[in-house]
Amino acid sequence: DIQMTQSPSTLSASVGDRVTITCRASQSISSWLAWYQQKPGKAPKLLINKAASLENGVPSRFSGSGSGTEFTLTISSLQPDDFATYYCQQYKSGDTFGQGTKLEIK
Amino acid sequence: QVQLVQSGAEVKKPGASVKVSCKASGDTFTNYVVHWVRQAPGQSLEWMGWISAGNGNTRYSQDFQGRVTITRDTSATTAYMELGSLRSEDTAVYYCAAKDSGGLRGLDYWGQGTLVTVSS
């Protein structure tokens, strides 16, 4: 099975900050990677597909990059609504999620 | 776009089975692949398996192989996930999620989640 390792597990930041979350795959997954945002008590929301493709309606301050085994999610200027938990997911072979990154207000 | 509505919360005893349903509406059910993902309290998301609503093909996570069965009823536009031999560690919110069967992509549509509590 392909394992996904996300870092950091917790990130403290302020409104307006630029933040980056990293996700590493245990083997190459090409660009078959998605990013999700989840708020407490809610289902995850798909933000980015195929490593870098922003879903319709997702603010442009979100961006994704990477291929192979290393990927990043960047939020260019944090807004109050962005404080949530973020997950990566590979879907090249079966599906596997990362452990999550909780983005907290500093 | 498809909307997914799941069945209500369940309380089960250890060793029992649970069957959760996921009813789709708003688009052609057989155009989608339905996945099941669970989330234990305070934990990450854990993928369990999927079913092609069109042809009924399934794939399961090795972590659940032999304990989980995913089925669908095309006439009812509903997918089902049955998990057997329940133990306390299976207490979690179980989500169904769907994506178009046309290619590899993330999970666009999610149900509201079903809390399954396993307790003696």
Chain position carrying tokens 């307790």 = B119
Would you put residue B26 in left (φ > 0), alpha (ψ -120 to 50) or beta?
left
Asked if A7 is an interface residue toward chain B (Cβ–Cβ < 8 A), one would say no
Asked if A83 is an interface residue toward chain B (Cβ–Cβ < 8 A), one would say no
> Who's near B119: CB < 8 A, 6+ residues apart?
B11, B12, B13, B14, B88, B91
Which residue type occupies A78? Answer: L
Q: Could you list the pLDDT tens digit for every one of the 120 residues in chain B?
A: 899 999 999 999 999 999 999 999 999 999 999 999 999 999 999 999 999 999 999 999 999 988 999 999 999 999 999 999 999 999 999 999 999 887 788 999 999 999 999 999
Q: Phi and psi of B89, rounded to 5°? A: -70, -10
Mean pLDDT of chain B: 96
Would you put residue A68 in left (φ > 0), alpha (ψ -120 to 50) or beta?
left
Interface probe, candidates B50, B61, B68, B104, chain A, greatest A C-beta count within 10 A: B104
